[in-house]
Chain A
Amino acid sequence: MQTEEKYDDLTALFAAQDDALHSDAFVDRVMRPIHKRARWRGPLLFGAGGLGVGAAISQMGGLLDAVNGRVASLNLSFSQVQTPALETLSGDTLWAAAILIVVVSCAAIVATERA
């Protein structure tokens, strides 16, 4: 069986061809889209993160109210407990929160795509 070292003469010929192909223009061609994407990546990631944090904070008050309402209702009567605590949040707020979560998720996916 022939070993892998027995074609060094041909490998040297091919290597000479490969050396002649080195060019800065090709490196620029590869790196340009990577640099371009990276310029957007940071602001987008921080922006998306900021939106997520903002959305979470904006819901804190409502959630606390909901929890407080729940605790208070437990202290009252059985019939009052049957009222879902989340009903204390308005429909608009819930929709806004859901849309924000979707936007943040999509932005995070886009931002973590590398090129």
Chain B
Amino acid sequence: MKSDIDLARDAASGKEAAFEALVRRHQGTIRGMTRRLARHAAEADDIAQVTFLTAWRKIGSYRGGSFKAWLCTIAYREFLQVRRKQKPEVEFDEGAHIIAFDASAARMAEHLDLDRALKTLPENQRICVVLCVASGLSHSEATAATGFPLGTVKSHVNRGVVALRKQLADEDVA
């Protein structure tokens, strides 16, 4: 299997199949990331699509390193652009979420718990947790993507992880 760097090089020379392989490989990470940041799944998928189209346009500027981190940085910037255009929305309606996804499958419940716990974090903490814990970026990569100082990223991640674990544990007990 070709590495991300090889595929990116092929894509930069105009090979669409190589770029398609990259989309196929990273779509889960990017769609997951945008769903955790955006307000709605449809909006998240729009951001994810724009992310990949931007990546296709700018693939010639990719200079090695983690391709996933490069994509996540683009996704985060696209998310910020979308959010700037939006009006503030009413806070997350926990009840509505429960009704919409009240499935009996244990896996769905687990995902729901995780999503719900994530939504309760303060925004910057949530962003850092999404980038570092969910998307697998290093603290340095998250620093480059967000522009937050390294110490701030580490602190947000540590606090966010503690809060997530506490919430998930509480829900298990309940």
- Residue ranges of A at the interface with B (Cβ–Cβ < 8 Å): 1-2, 4, 6-7, 10-11, 13-23, 26-27, 29-31, 33-35, 38, 113-115
A113 CA / B53 CA spacing, docked (Å): 12
Which one of A14, A30, A34 contacts B134 once the chains associate, using CB atoms below 8 Å? A14
Q: Which secondary structure dominates where chain B touches chain A? A: helix
0/1 per residue, B142-154, Cβ < 8 Å to A?
A: 0000000000001
CB-contact partner of B154 in A2, A17, A29, under 8 A: A2
Q: Is the CB of A10 within 8 A of B161?
A: yes
Secondary structure dominating the interface of A: helix
Chain B residue nearest to A23 in the complex (CB):
B27
Are B32 and A17 interface neighbours, CB within 8 A? yes
Give 8 CB contacts A-B under 8 Å: A2-B158, A7-B157, A10-B161, A13-B111, A14-B114, A14-B134, A30-B49, A33-B53
Which 5 residue pairs across A and B have the least CB separation, nearest first?
A18-B28, A14-B134, A18-B32, A30-B52, A21-B31
> Which residue of chain A has its CB nearest to the CB of B33?
A18
Measured between beta carbons, the chain A residues less than 8 angstroms from B31 are 18, 21, 26
Q: Tell me whether A21 and B27 are in contact in the complex, defined as CB-CB below 8 angstroms, given that A10-B161, A34-B53 are known contacts.
A: yes
Which of the candidate stretches B18-26, B73-81, B88-96 sits at the interface with the other chain? B18-26
